[in-house]
C-alpha cells in the first residue's frame, strides 16, 4: 500500500563464534537495507562469557536501530552434538535478547529462509547472498553471517506481510 508505515525488522543468524544481524525496513512490498553486521566472540573465552557478549551485542544493536520485530533462524542438528548444543545456546541468546527488549520474535527454518529469498529451499549460500544483494539495493556484503541475517529478515517481511493481510481480512469479516 502506498504510504504504509515501514516495519523495522531485525534478522538474526545465530552462531557462537559469529552471530550475524541485519536490519531492514519493510513497507508493503518495498524492502530497504538499513544496517548489518556480525558479533564476534573469542573461542578461547569460556562459554558463559561468550554468551554474555552475544547478548550485549544484540542489545546494543536493538538499542541503536530500534526494530519493531525480530526474526531468528532455527537451528538444525549437525554431525557434531557438541557444536549443535553450542549453536542452540547462541540461538537461545538471540531469542532471549529480542524478547527481553519487548520485540515480537518469529523463527524460521533455513529452508523457509532460502525459499523466501531465492525461490527454492535448497539454494546454496552464494545464491542467497546474491539475492539479498538484489532485493536490498545498496547492500554491500560485509560478511556471510550478516547476509544470512538479512535473508532471515526478508523472509520474515514476506511472512509477516501475508499474516497481516489475513489478520485484516479476518477483522473485516468480524466487523
Q: Annotated binding site for Mg(2+), which residues?
A: 13, 73, 145
Q: In this structure, what C-alpha cell is assigned to residue 3? A: 504510504
Exactly one of 25, 36, 73, 148 is catalytic; name it. Answer: 73
Rounded Cα gap, residues 49 and 36, in angstroms: 23
Active site residue 36: no
DSSP per-residue codes, 7-71:
EEEEEEE--SSEEEEEEEEEETTEEEEEEEEEEE--TTS-HHHHHHHHHHHHHHHHHHH--SEEE
Contact 172, 87 (CB under 8 A): no
Exactly one of 13, 25, 69, 148 is catalytic; name it. Answer: 13
Active site residue 145: yes
Contact 19, 143 (CB under 8 A): no
Active site residue 63: no
Exactly one of 69, 145, 148, 167 is catalytic; name it. Answer: 145
Count the helix, strand and coil residues of the chain and give each as a percent rounded to the nearest 5. 50, 20, 25
Q: Which residues are annotated as a binding site?
A: 13, 73, 145
Rounded Cα gap, residues 146 and 151, in angstroms: 9
Coil vs helix vs strand at 111: helix
Q: Any idea which residues carry the catalytic annotation?
A: 13, 73, 145
Amino acid at each position: 500500500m502506498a504510504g504504509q508505515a515501514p516495519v523495522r525488522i531485525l534478522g538474526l543468524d545465530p552462531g557462537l563464534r559469529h552471530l550475524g544481524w541485519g536490519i531492514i525496513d519493510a513497507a508493503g512490498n518495498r524492502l530497504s537495507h538499513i544496517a548489518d553486521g556480525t558479533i564476534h566472540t573469542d573461542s578461547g573465552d569460556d562459554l558463559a562469557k561468550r554468551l554474555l557478549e552475544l547478548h550485549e551485542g544484540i542489545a546494543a544493536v536493538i538499542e541503536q536501530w530500534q526494530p519493531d520485530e525480530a526474526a531468528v533462524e532455527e537451528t538444525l542438528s549437525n554431525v557434531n552434538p557438541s557444536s549443535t548444543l553450542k549453536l542452540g545456546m547462541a540461538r537461545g541468546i538471540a531469542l532471549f535478547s529480542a524478547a527481553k527488549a519487548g520485540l515480537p520474535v518469529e523463527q524460521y527454518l533455513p529452508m523457509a529462509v532460502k525459499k523466501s529469498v531465492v525461490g527454492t529451499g535448497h539454494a546454496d549460500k552464494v545464491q542467497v547472498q546474491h539475492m539479498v544483494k538484489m532485493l536490498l539495493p545498496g547492500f554491500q556484503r560485509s560478511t556471510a553471517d550478516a547476509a544470512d541475517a538479512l535473508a532471515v529478515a526478508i523472509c520474515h517481511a514476506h511472512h509477516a506481510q501475508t499474516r497481516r493481510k489475513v489478520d485484516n481480512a479476518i477483522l473485516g469479516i468480524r466487523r
